[in-house]
Every structure is written in structure tokens, then in C-alpha cells.
């Protein structure tokens, strides 16, 4: 068994994450799930209406539908992407449904060409929270 050099692994990890973003922006759910491991976990901040952890394609698909109610994923822009081995950090911007822009840092862990873990960090989640009606 040969071990890939770290720079090769890093570039492959970046390409996997880029494929996820490209598929998400274009609405290609098959392409999106092609690079997501079947038991992957996505972690959203608990303060959001869709906050929490989601495991597996079914739960992540439901999360994507819920997120789509608040964010226009077709507007997602990747500003920077850094990788070290199987860890990829991406600085992204996306517009809310009302047109406000929100910034995030997303941390992806890639193994064997599939994303196995994705953690989302919002710079200022209040941009999104201000748009959500208070439910009483």
C-alpha cells in the first residue's frame, strides 16, 4: 500500500470540496451526494432554526431543503480554500432569501474522495436570525 504525499492528498481533498460546492450552486443533488459519504455528518450552529448535527444522506438532504428556505445556495461564492491533507477550510459567502449576504467558514474532512464531516461556522449568524420570524 502506497501513501500519497500530503500535497497530493491536499489537492484531491480540495477538488472533492470544490465538487460539492459546484453541485450545490447548480442544484445538482446527485453530484452533491456523489462526494458526500453515506454516513457523513454535517454540524450547524445550534442557534439556527436548522441547527444541530445531521448524519447520512437522508438527514443531510432534509437539512439542505430546510437551509434553502433561508439561504439562496445558488449565490454561494467561495473566496478562499485551504487544505492540509484531508482537512479543507473554505471561506464562503451566500445571500439570504431577502438578499443580505452572510459569511461562513466551512471545515470539511475528506476520506477516500468523500466528505465525511462538515462543520459550519457563521461569522455573524444574526444576519440570518434577523430574517426569521419569531414563533410564539
Average per-residue pLDDT for the chain: 91
The residue range of the domain holding 68 is 6-129
Burial class (CB in 10 A: 0-12, 13-18, 19+), 54: buried
Considering the domain boundaries, does residue 85 fall inside one?
yes
Residue 11, SS3 per DSSP: helix
> Which pLDDT score, from 0 to 100, does residue 127 have?
83
DSSP 100: -
Cβ count near 124 (within 10 Å) = 11
User: Phi and psi at residue 2, in whole multiples of 5°?
Assistant: -100, 145
Burial class (CB in 10 A: 0-12, 13-18, 19+), 42: buried
Q: How far is 115 from 106, CA to CA, in rounded Å?
A: 12
Considering the domain boundaries, does residue 111 fall inside one?
yes
Considering the domain boundaries, does residue 68 fall inside one?
yes
Considering the domain boundaries, does residue 136 fall inside one?
no
Tens digits of residue pLDDT in 30-88: 999 999 999 999 999 998 888 999 999 999 999 999 998 889 999 999 999 999 999 99
Tens digits of residue pLDDT in 79-124: 999 999 999 999 999 999 889 999 999 999 999 999 999 999 999 8
Considering the domain boundaries, does residue 135 fall inside one?
no
Residue 135: pLDDT band with limits 50, 70, 90:
very low
Whichever domain contains 32, its CATH number is 3.10.450.50
Residue 6: pLDDT band with limits 50, 70, 90:
confident
Considering the domain boundaries, does residue 134 fall inside one?
no
Number of domains observed in the structure of the chain: 1
Helix (H) or strand (E) holding 57: helix 56-67
Amino acid at each position: 500500500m502506497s501513501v500519497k504525499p500530503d500535497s497530493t492528498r491536499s489537492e484531491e481533498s480540495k477538488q472533492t470540496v470544490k465538487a460539492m460546492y459546484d453541485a450545490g450552486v447548480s442544484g445538482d443533488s446527485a453530484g452533491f451526494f456523489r462526494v458526500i459519504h453515506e454516513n457523513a455528518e454535517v454540524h450547524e450552529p445550534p442557534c439556527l432554526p436548522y441547527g444541530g448535527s445531521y448524519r447520512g444522506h437522508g438527514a443531510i438532504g432534509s437539512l439542505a431543503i430546510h437551509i434553502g428556505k433561508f439561504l439562496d445556495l445558488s449565490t454561494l461564492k467561495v473566496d478562499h480554500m485551504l487544505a492540509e491533507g484531508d482537512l479543507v477550510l473554505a471561506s464562503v459567502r451566500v445571500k439570504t432569501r431577502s438578499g443580505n449576504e452572510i459569511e461562513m467558514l466551512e471545515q470539511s474532512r475528506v476520506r477516500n474522495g468523500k466528505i465525511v464531516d462538515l462543520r459550519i461556522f457563521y461569522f455573524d449568524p444574526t444576519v440570518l436570525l434577523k430574517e426569521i420570524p419569531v414563533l410564539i
